Amino acid sequence: MPIDTRAGYEIYHREMGEGAREALFLHCSLAHSGAWKGLSAELSGAFHMVALDHLSHGQSAAWSGVGDYHDASTEVAKSFLQDAPIDLVGHSFGATVALRIALEAPEKVRSLVLIEPVLFSVAKAASEQFGAGYLSEISRISNALERGDSSAAARAFLEVWGGGQNWDAMPAPMKEAMAAQIHVVPACQAVLFDDVVGLLKGQRLEALTCPVLMLRGALSPDVMGVINDGLAARLPNAQSVSVAGAGHMVPITHPKETAGEMRRFFRKG
């Protein structure tokens, strides 16, 4: 479980599984690489998995605040790519990084598993309602941060994306960690909502030919269905599935079911 320098930052990562396929796992916001433990246990015979801690998460260094957080996170993740194509698996924020990598370096990606990708620009393009909802949510977080109340900001985030986690019942160290990380969420708005890097521009999605699994929880916020459907409609080799009884945190709360869908996907690929 080393810490080494990646894209100018000290980055922690862990290795899991003993399978023949090489895979890189990218976790969601306010989590860390350990969030993949349940899923990795289900997939250990199929994959050799590398899971990193994003900047300002887990044991990795804090983001400097210089430039764009999504840019920095993408460059860090790219440093784990290999000469031969690998499987990329991302959840939520991590799924948006995975998609960006696949668009920018398609020759390095064998397949893509996008679990609940929070690419809100897709929803904004589909509906003013979803765009307004996102701006309202981000405003609650940003306003709390401007007041210096990072705990209130993290609570507001979890109310929508925490998969039913009760903030008041969470252990104090976990709440402190999430409060320390929450500033990176609004820092991603330019990429995730405004699409300043052009992920949706022109025919970029249509040109991505690797197999793609779009996976979501059936009980997730409605916006995730809009995003999944919007991406699946444009990605030429995509299939979309949902896990019954699961919400946004589906790979953590339902690792067995998530692994089952992934195994079916790889058997078809």
Model's pTM, two decimal places?
0.95
DSSP letters of 73-95? HHHHHHTT--SS-EEEEEETHHH
- Taking alpha carbons only, the member of 32, 135, 21 closest to residue 88 is 21
DSSP letters of 127-155? -HHHHHHHHHHHHHHHHHHHTT-HHHHHH
What pLDDT sits at residue 269? 57
Burial (CB count <10 Å: 0-12, 13-18, 19+), residue 66: exposed
What pLDDT sits at residue 136? 85
Burial (CB count <10 Å: 0-12, 13-18, 19+), residue 86: buried
Two tokens, residue 120: 């809100």
Strand partners, 241: 215
Element holding 241 (H helix, E strand) = strand 238-243
**What span, in angstroms and rounded, lies between the C-alpha atoms of 176 and 153?**
12
Looking only at the bridges linking them, the beta strands covering 212-217 and 109-115 are: parallel
**What span, in angstroms and rounded, lies between the C-alpha atoms of 130 and 209?**
28
Return averaged pLDDT per consecutive 10 residues of the chain, 269 residues in all.
Answer: 90 93 96 96 92 97 93 97 96 98 97 97 87 84 92 88 80 90 91 96 97 96 92 97 95 97 87
What pLDDT sits at residue 31? 93
**What span, in angstroms and rounded, lies between the C-alpha atoms of 55 and 62?**
5
Q: Tell me the one-letter amino acid at 174.
A: M
- Taking alpha carbons only, the member of 231, 230, 258 closest to residue 244 is 258
Angle at 190 between CA 124 and CA 34, to 5 degrees: 95
**What span, in angstroms and rounded, lies between the C-alpha atoms of 203 and 235?**
10
